[in-house]
Structure 1
Amino acid sequence: MHARPTDLEVVILGAGMSGLCMAIQLQRSGIDDYLIVEKSHGLGGTWWDNRYPGAQVDVPAPAYSFSFAPNPEWTHRFADAAEIHRYQQRLAEQHGLAARMRLGVAITEARFDAQAGRWQLSLDDGSALSARFFVCSTGPLSRPRWPDIPDLASFKGQLLHSARWPAGVDLGDKRIGVIGTGSTASQLVPALAPTAARLTLFQRTPNWVMPRLDRRYGALDRWLARFPPYAALARLAWVQFLELGRRGFDEGTLARRAMTAAARGHLRRQVPDAGLRERLTPRYPLGCKRIIYSNDYFGALALPQSELVTEAITGVTERGVLTLDGREHQLDALICATGFDTTQLLAELPITGLDGRTLGETWRVNPSAYFGLTVPGFPNLFLTLGPNTGTGHTSTLLFIEPQVQHALACMRRVKQSGKRWIDVRPEAFAAQDANVQRRLAGSVWSRCSSWYRNDSGRIIAIWPGFTGEYDRAVRRPDEAAYELG
């Protein structure tokens, strides 16, 4: 490193929900000596990246606000991306976070100095930082995944990715192709199909779709939400309701039978055409892939200008997409709604811990961390929404908050002990990881291919239990699981 580093107590990578939560709780605990580094030119994380038409959260908004910062300004039960971004901006303004952010700058290298007990960080603007603690809050939904299709770059029309949506793009009266049928596509398709000359959805696997219990919030709702007891009760009620959905992932439960029946009934009511309905019927158990919640996805596919293509894509030409039946689907715009690469977490950033070992090398085969938070050999490094902390049923914020409290407790322990660093013990890490994988084996998530799993088949994204179990295990660290140095 050529530049003299700026010394800090904590550096936070990422200004999304996790980074904002960490910064606010640092301030509340009396730590003001921190900096958020964000490579995008604005805060928001996934809500900065995901600006495609129709983008919205897929859990009720009261559960998608922090317990310490309820939002009385929600206008719908399921908030859209712009509304969530405004919530994030208000959080930053209320807590004065802008002064402790560096936007449009990326960390290019992170190396732990064991002797000093500090992380040495290089940035792409030539500057350097030194921090006792390094928090990686980028999460799993940050690196766009492009489909592995021959000659994709040869397409001469507009080639777009849902996670990098350009401002001002107009697709009205265009022939649009959409690759991907997950949550993103279920929001994009209804937003684009009504004004498209033609919309072609290329489906590899149909998804389970449940009704979305959405409604507009009126003046009375927003007035009540300004009373803390009401806001807390509304949030708790939705959190508990979402936990019922977790029971739907367990074989033989009443919740599972009810959710499956609801999804099948939803498809039957919204798609009267038997042939189309057959092609939209999943062949894998509900919950194996992330469930879609939508009231207008099926309706958009039934429009006369929409076409569902289930033949496999064999390639891309200058004019469109080739499918296995020999057709060339001519397009003006091709949208890849193919989500994020969740198998190569933090792959773009060399993070070097003890003994010169990098996190990329450690995670090359199977990304794993102690409760998704810490990795042996990488002292004073904390992850948020790390491996096996995802959910298929509830708000990620319910996992972020205890993760932040866990990291803060570890930081306090280091300072109180007078030691230089804290590191999870390899045996504690191995035991917890083995327990998670044992519980996931044979679960619904093991019964199909999804972004929850990596190429080896290991489930790397999902937490196998209920939200409360994770909170209780994580919020107060087990001191025996960590060693000080």
Structure 2
Amino acid sequence: MPDARRHEVLILGAGMSGLCMAVQLKRAGVDDFVILEKQSGLGGTWWDNRYPGAHVDVPAPAYSFSFASNPKWTRRFASASEIQGYLKDIVERFGLAPHIRLGERITEARFDEGSGRWQVRTEAGETLDARFFVCSTGPLSQPRWPDVPGLESFAGAKLHSARWDESVPLEGRRVGVIGTGSTASQLVAPIARRAASLAVFQRTANWVMPRLDRRYGRVDRWLARLPPYAGLVRWLWVQALEWGRRGFEEGTLARRAMLATAARHLQRQVPDPELRRRLTPPYPLGCKRIIYSNDFYPALRRPNVELVTEAIERITPRGVVAADGREHALDVLVCATGFDTVHLLSSTSVTGQGGRTLREAWSQGPQAYRGVTVAGFPNLFLLLGPNTGTGHTSTLLYLEPQVKHVLACLQAVRRGRHRWMSVRPEVMQAYNEGLQRRLAGSVWTHCRSWYRMEPSGRIVAIFPGFTREYVRSLQRLEPADYEWA
């Protein structure tokens, strides 16, 4: 019998990126792999984010894998539960279930220089051995709680949007939401319809665009079963999203169109000039992720909803005290404060060559070569790693080329009878210095966001160019960029 603790490839995370990697391994004839997932269900961020109103913020046809279209979408902007269903179909369609181990949290991963393999230890005390280690946790896996004095003292129910507890009742209760970003814009309206009162604490207003949503009928779903039609629809949406990327650059037609659309949307949905003033962003469009919503602004106009723009001074057992001294009494506190995108893999100790940890290597911020490989960590591959985020399109457009690139690396090691490969430090350094030079003059430098490190301002999440540029950079594996053993 094969050793269940020894594998060719170990994949960390059973979200979209981990499942995509698994499918391509299967297609390439590599069947000796295991996926370890810390949660009790698959889906990654779509398992974690099950708050009311959770949905994807790009059209669903562009949020489907190119190799697995989904004719079951019921809406253009799919809900979290629909995406969960899609991922379950992927697991069944490609026979991935035997490779997935749920509820397995990795505590330590160490590269053994003698064997050239990764030794991975789980929370249960088991040690697994793998030739290749693929981390597919992505930047949206570690919830970030607000850094506010007194948070732990709150006596009511305390929820994070990425760790939602459905057993907490909201009906008839006084609820507070900290944050007005993409997640908050989705959950505010459903909560407002259920709560007796809702206080929304806003640090900075966001750019909001109308969401061009619609329900898919029988004809849509029938047509989606035809590969040429499904492929064309996906391609058209990808082109539309890529056009929107031009809106991040001054003087473009796309920017003028997007600014006009956002202004009309705010004017039409918020007639009160004072409320409209408080909801007007003080930074350029594109600096933070743009919100697409048709019900966020109307929810803020409900009689039981209050928008609080004074800074939060502290949290008490009874509620939230704002800078004006007023205490907002709450029964439930919801933190829609996003994720820690700086301290990636912070819950796992990853040790590479010479005993150096990934935490030490990333002491000045996470960085990688093309977002995939890290110097000093042989046969370690990241999916949706540093500086591979997008502010305009589907992450799958970056993920699929990454997976193909990782597969090319694995095959190069195997074909060349090497033990391992590792990107050269000078190559990784030059690549990241080039990225930061381009990002220094970009729209993303004009505000605080999860794209940046503070206080340095280093942008660690966003890729500065267009999708096609990033895809092209991954299509060719340059052996000279790597050390081989």
Whether the TM-score (by the shorter chain) exceeds 0.5 is yes
CA contact (8 A) 1:5 1:127 kept: no
Structure 1 residue 169: Cα displacement: 2.9
What's the CA shift string for 1:445-466, capped at 9, x where partnerless? 0111111001221000000001
**Counterpart residue type for residue 313 of structure 2:** T
1:476 match: 476
The answer for the alignment partner of 2:168 in structure 1 is 169
TM-score, normalising length from structure 2?
Answer: 0.98
For 1:242 and 1:448, how far apart are their aligned partners in 2? 23
TM-score scaled by structure 1? 0.98
Give the structure 2 partner of residue 143 of structure 1.
Answer: 142
Q: Specify the alignment match of 1:277 in structure 2.
A: 276
The answer to whether 1:179 aligns with 2:195 is no
Partner of 1:113: 112
1:160–1:335: 8 Å Cα contact kept in structure 2? yes
Aligned residue in 2 for 1:91? 90
What does 1:373-452 correspond to in 2, within 5 Å?
373-452=372-451
Q: Is the 8 A contact 2:157 2:168 kept in 1?
A: no
Distance (Å, rounded) in 2 between the aligned partners of 1:350 and 1:156: 34
Deviation at 1:480, TM superposition (A): 2.3
Helix, strand or coil for the counterpart of 1:164? Answer: coil
Deviation of 1:5 after TM superposition, in Å, equals 8.0
Deviations 1:299-354 (A, max 9, x none): 00001111000011111111110011110100111100001111111112111111
Q: How far 1:394 moved relative to its partner?
A: 0.3
Specify the alignment match of 1:308 in structure 2.
307
Letter in 2 for 1:205: T
Question: For residues 125 and 188 of structure 1, what CA distance do their matches in structure 2 show?
Answer: 35
Distance 1:393 1:287 in 2: 8
User: What do the CA deviations read for 1:182-201 (whole angstroms, capped 9, x no partner)?
Assistant: 00000010111122211110
CA distance in 2, matches of 1:239, 1:91: 21
Count how many residue pairs are aligned between Structure 1 and Structure 2. 482
Q: Deviations over 1:230-251 (max 9, x none)?
A: 1111000000000011000011
CA distance in 1, matches of 2:11, 2:29: 16
Note the alpha carbon deviations across 1:375-408, whole angstroms, 9 max, x for none. 0110000000000000000000111100000110
Task: Give identity over the alignment, percent.
Answer: 66
Map residues 44-443 of structure 1 onto 2, 5 A cutoff. Answer: 44-443=43-442
For 1:393 and 1:87, the matched residues in 2 are separated by 23
Say if 2:11 and 2:135, in contact at 8 Å, map to a contact too: yes
Q: Could you give the per-residue CA deviations for residues 416-436 of structure 1, whole angstroms, max 9, x where no partner exists?
A: 111100111122211211111
| Structure 1 CA distance for aligned equivalents of residues 478 and 233 of structure 2 | 32
Contact 2:150 2:314 in 1 (8 A): yes
Q: Distance in 2 between matches of 1:168 and 1:78?
A: 26
| CA RMSD of superposed structures (Å) | 1.0
Find the counterpart in structure 2 of residue 13 from structure 1: 12
The answer to whether the 8 A contact 2:248-2:443 is kept is yes
Within 2, Cα distance between the matches of 1:374 and 1:416?
Answer: 19
- In the TM superposition, what is the alpha-carbon distance from 1:205 to its structure 2 partner? 0.2
Deviation at 1:479, TM superposition (A): 2.5
Counterpart position of 1:460:
460
**Unpaired runs of 5+ in structure 2?**
none
Taking the aligned partners of 1:95 and 1:434, their CA distance within structure 2 comes to 40
Please give the per-residue CA displacement for 1:139-188, whole angstroms capped at 9, x wherever unaligned.
00000000001111111111111000013332011111000010000001
Q: Distance in 2 between matches of 1:478 and 1:207?
A: 41
Q: Secondary structure at the match of 2:162?
A: helix
Any stretches of 5+ residues in structure 1 without a counterpart? none
For the 8 Å contact 1:5–1:130, the answer to whether it is kept is no
Could you list the per-position Cα deviations for residues 30-50 of structure 1 after superposition, in whole angstroms to 9, with x for gaps in the alignment? 000000000000100000000
Secondary structure at the aligned position of 2:403 is classed as helix
Helix, strand or coil for the counterpart of 2:248?
coil
SS in 2 for 1:163: coil
